[in-house]
Each structure stands twice: as structure tokens, then as C-alpha cells.
Chains A and B, each alone.
Chain A
Amino acid sequence: MAIIANYYVDPVTGLDTNDGLSTSAPFATFQKGADVATAGQIVACKTSGGASDEQPSLTIDLDTNTGTSTDGFIQFIGVNSSWDYDGTRYILDGSLVANLLTFSSKTRLAFVAIEFNNATGNPLAGTGGDNTYFINCAFRNNGSTVSFSPCGTAYVVMCGSFGNDGDGFSMPYSAGHILLSVAGYNTGDGIELTSNSSYLNSAISCLSFNNGGEGIDSRYGENVIYQCTSNDNGASGINVDDYCCVFGNRTTNNARYGIETKLNATYGFIGFNYINGNTLGAIGAAQAEKILDNFGLDSNIYSGVDGYNAPNTPDYDFNLTADATMRDIAITLPS
């Protein structure tokens, strides 16, 4: 059944001089839909079925949209050749375009089943765009990190990021959340979460594989990494700083550690993870407080735990030490 939308885009039969109000008189470009849609409206974007639906000659500027935060989202939804929503994605191809979308401070957007491909830089630009949702979207082969920093708060759900020349998903200093998403064969990290003192980021039930850097890189702490799988990456499976919660993940066959705490894992929690087959060891810990109950520690190629600055102060529930061969683990309860 055809989707009911406010505006329709068909790059094959449409014209931007149409009114775009029906499937029989659709716009030709995503750009035109973005120009006219206002808060609370839906733009249905029909795939051409080819490799590329639309190659914007200019950055698509979303600054023209109007409305307030109570008026609802502007939704851009990719649909199939019958105007049905079945997961088929509408493709924005950015060949020779630095950025595909430019956000403004007023935008409140949801992108469903849209691909952002082949930009020479980050496909997302501008500022604002708080509470931007990406659902069933993909980011492929872009010329730099796919950073959501232009979006402020971003929610990335069931998305993929593949083959980008940088990080697959890079979350900004303000809140960003990645759920049920996949990052693979990117040049940099698969997923990068960068927190600050006011916000936390999260990666939940994600897969990160075969990336050039870390599978999941959590910077500046206060992030949650839960139930993710990180394998065959060029650095550590998961890298964390202070205050991070790394819980119930699986990290295997990464080129450095399964889980690495590069700075200070102060107050962090790393628990109930399955860690196996990583080149340097299971957990590389600068200060390893509250590292407990991980599974598979003995199965790593080099060592179980590299706690080279442990033990730490006895103010925590558990302290962790490693012996000289870094093969045996001793957990000492504080007095």
C-alpha cells in the first residue's frame, strides 16, 4: 500500500515544477522536498531502482524549514517503486559534493531509509538539528568521517556505515545514541563516542567489524557500551576512558586489546564481556578499577589482562593485578 505523505519525490518521472502533492505530480529532487516541507510533514522519496537516485549539485540546505519543537518532525522516508515503505532506501549520491545535508538550528528531522553516499567530506554539515533521527539509513564510501556533530543530539537506529574514509559513526560532544547499527570496513574507527561533562553517548546492540581503527572508541568518558560485538578491527575492540560502562559485549580477533582503557578507567565498569583472540590481550588497563567477571580472559593470543598500572587505590570493590608474564589474574578485595 502506497505511503501517505505530504510531498512526493520521484527522480525518474518527477518535475520540480510540479506541486509535489501527489504520486501523479511528484517533485524530481529531494532538494525540492526539503525546500517546501514544514514541521510535522512527511516527504516520500521514491527509489529509481538504480545505483544512484540523486546527485545533488549543491548541498541540500534544510534551513528553509519552519515550525517549532511541538509541531513534530519533518520526515524524509525512502520508499520502493510502488511508493510502499519496505526498507528500500532512497540514495543521495554526493560525488564531488563536500557535504550532502546542511542543518540549521531550527530543524527537527527524521530520515528513514535514506542513503548518504560518496560525499567528498562529511555528508552532514551545519549546526543545530537537535533530536535528529536516522532510522534504517546508510552511509557509504564517504571521503571522511561520518560525524553527527552537526546534528546536536542524534539518534541512529538500525543504520549501517560502510567503507568511509574515516570513522563510520562519530558521535559529538553532546548526546548521541547508536542502536542496532553496523559499522564495517571504515578506514578509522567503526563507532566513536565523544562525551563531555553534561551528556553521555551510548552504543547498544551494535556490530563493528573490520575497521582500520578501534571497533568502538569511547572518548572522555560517561558513555555506555552495551551488548555490542566488535571484531577484526585494526586497533582495540573497545577503547574507553573514565566513567564508562562497558557491559555484556563481545570483542574478538582485534589487532590490539579486546577492551583497552587508554587513559584512566577511574570509576569505570567493565563487566560480563566475552573477550577472545585479541592480539595484545583481553584488557589493556591503565588503571583498572572495577574490572570484574569478564569471560574468556584465558583465550586471548597473548595474555589475559595487561594491568600495567594496577593495582590502584583500595577504595573500590575490586582491584586487579597481573603477574610478570601477564597471564594470570589476581583480584584483591580491599581491606
Chain B
Amino acid sequence: MITKGENFSRARLVNFKPQSGDVIESCNLAQLQPHTPVGLGVAGLTYRNCNLVNCDVDGIVEHCNTTQISRCGNLHDGYDCAVDCEHVTSSESISVDGVLIDTLYEYADKVVV
């Protein structure tokens, strides 16, 4: 069976129920956290022109976006990050009369392996 043009991203992943040998074409399966298992254990799947950001999949992958991105909760809703999380790219301490009053952070999402 060919599944084409569906949105299985994030909470909609519960609707993704592939059968052995299916072709998944032009679908969005992007997930919040890196290496989220998607369709594992189903044999013979083919993903073609899909968004597989943060997905771990089995089978044949043809021309899909397979990036793993660790997103920062200080930049996006739905993620839990401390102010000094791993996504900090630079910080600046602000002091008055030698007393630290604030620290400004810059953040960026990270592409991970």
C-alpha cells in the first residue's frame, strides 16, 4: 500500500500504522526529540520524499530529510530546557559595581548525530 501526503508529525504519530511492504511517500513524520522510533519492526518499508526529522526508521529511505535536531526550549514551545542549557552559544554577564545582576544567553538548535 502507498500512503501519500499525510501528516504523522508529533502527536499524530499514533495514527501511523504501516504494514509490511508499505511505501510512505511525501509524508511528514517529524518528531520533537532526536531519534524517536518510527515504524520500527515493520519489514520492508520504503520512505520516499518524507520529512523524517528526528525519526529513527527501518527500511529504504529515498530523498528524505533525515536530520536529527536537538531543539532548545528557550527558543521553542514544547521543550524543557534550563537557561544555561546545552544550546547556549554565548553568554554575557552584566555587572554593576562588581555585582552580577544578570546573564544574557544566546541559544541555537543543534544538529546531532
Contact = CB atoms under 8 A, between A and B. Distances in A.
A120 interface: yes
A236 interface: no
Given A163-B50, A212-B9, A51 B28 contact: no
B62 interface: yes
Nearest to B7: A185
Chain B interface mostly helix, strand, loop or mixed?
Answer: loop
Interface in B14-36: 26-28, 30
Chain A interface mostly helix, strand, loop or mixed?
Answer: loop
Interface size class of A (residues with CB under 8 A): 20 to 34
B110 to A, nearest CB: 10
Interface in A82-137: 93, 95-96, 98, 117-118, 120-121
A211 B109 CA distance: 23
A144 B30 CA distance: 10
Q: Which of B5, B9, B11, B62 has the most CB of A within 10 A?
A: B9
A102 B103 CA distance: 31
B65 A95 contact: yes
Contacts, number: 85
Contacts of B10: 187, 212
Contacts of B62: 51
Contacts of B51: 140-143, 163-165, 187
Nearest to A95: B65
Interface of A: 51-52, 93, 95-96, 98, 117-118, 120-121, 140-144, 162-165, 184-187, 210-212, 234
13 contacts: A51-B49, A96-B111, A121-B109, A141-B49, A162-B28, A163-B28, A163-B51, A164-B51, A165-B65, A185-B27, A210-B5, A211-B7, A212-B7
